[in-house]
Amino acid sequence: MKLTLSSMTKTELAKTLGLKPFQGRQLFQWLHQKRVFDFDAMTNLSKPLRAQLTETASASQLELVEMQESKATGTKKALFRLHDGETVESVLIRDRKRTTICVSSQVGCALKCSFCATGLAGFTRNLTPGEIVEQVLYLLQDEADSDRTPNIVYMGMGEPMRNYDNVMASIRLLMDKDGVGIGARKIIVSTVGEAKEIERFTQEDWQVRLSVSLHAANNELRSTLVPLNRKFPLERLHDVLSGYSAQSGRQLTFEWTMLKGVNDSVECARELVAYAKGLKVSVNLIPWNPVSGLPYHPTHMADCNRFRDILEAGGLKVTVRMEKGQDIDAACGQLSRTHGKA
Ligand code: SF4
């Protein structure tokens, strides 16, 4: 089996392939900065080295199966096939100010949140650091004329904190100045509330941001939406988030998927205001993308606005995320369900 290179740092590339440090750096730049996966096109590497790489290594582990693009918004959704035939999805979202790439961290997910397409499929395996980074590299290939540095959000398929080491390794690769060179503040890791890993994350020596998919601020409702809440209830989550705010000084974000008649009432909004007390937090309200087979409906915009007004009156900073591509299968897990395993 050939060596796969995209999970390796510059130093690891040099060491594993028996190269000089500068050659490890050049190879890293081709893969991560220039996003070139054809060894023959890596013109500053010697011909014998290119031949050695072609013989023994594989520059890329992902194969693009399908790219959907929303005519209305320019949002793109990519479906990739992995070496073992499994598939994962990534999304690129553009708005006036920024480009955001949403990556997957696992094939499937074990946490079975009741409104999520990925949760329906169950868990298959963790992604390697390279499989995560390559999602970004592929989506950026098309963005060559854009001078925007993208934001990266770990909000695709899977619970990133359940693949902690590989996710953190992928972040280090994405931050490398000889690679994509993304600043830590432009990277957000999202969790539904893995309390122990949030404590680990709090100790990381960087400014990478944290987002918590909350969706409900009372235990009874949250446990029906996010079953992990039974293991780490809201009180425990509040404790670790207070620790995160105190130690890092960073603001965190609560994600709240708006489900009509489920978590969009005045009372739910008031519970959220009360729960946020003492935390340095802003709130993203997200319209739910319909998923066939799930018994939910998106909240009407007027009710989203009422919910937002209550949060703002309670002193919270709120963003209502606009819909980005209902004309493509925009909820993570939907493309995979359409295509299934190869
Ligand atoms: S919402 Fe996230 S954590 Fe929950 S099932 Fe879906 S992918 Fe997993």
Q: What is the pLDDT of residues 131-169, one digit of tens each?
A: 999 999 999 886 755 556 899 999 999 999 999 999 999
3-state helix/strand/coil string of 255-317: EEEEECCCCCCHHHHHHHHHHHCCCCEEEEEEECCCCCCCCCCECCHHHHHHHHHHHHHCCCE
Atom index in ligand 1 nearest the CA of residue 109 equals 8
* Total tally of structural domains belonging to the chain: 2
118 lines ligand 1 (CB under 6 A): yes
Residues 114 and 154 in one domain: yes
Read off the CATH number of the domain in which 113 is found.
3.20.20.70
Residues 52 and 73 in one domain: no
CA dist 80 and 76 (Å) reads: 13
CA dist 279 and 257 (Å) reads: 20
Residues 166 and 194 in one domain: yes
Residues 125 and 255 in one domain: yes
Residues 10 and 116 in one domain: no
Residues 251 and 326 in one domain: yes
**304 contacts 338 by C-beta, under 8 angstroms:** no
Residues 8 and 134 in one domain: no
Residues 169 and 318 in one domain: yes
Structural domain of residue 150, as residue ranges? 63-339
Residues 147 and 192 in one domain: yes
Length of the chain: 342
Extract the residue ranges of the chain whose pLDDT is less than 50.
Answer: 324-325, 334-335, 337-342
**pLDDT value for 120:** 83
From ligand 1's centre to the CA of 214, what distance in Å? Answer: 11
258 lines ligand 1 (CB under 6 A): no
Enter the pTM of the model.
0.92
Residues 86 and 184 in one domain: yes
Read off the CATH number of the domain in which 47 is found.
1.10.150.530
Q: Convert the pLDDT of each residue in 75-124 to its tens digit.
A: 899 999 999 999 999 999 887 778 899 999 999 999 999 999 888 889 99
Residues 8 and 133 in one domain: no
Residues 20 and 83 in one domain: no
129 lines ligand 1 (CB under 6 A): no
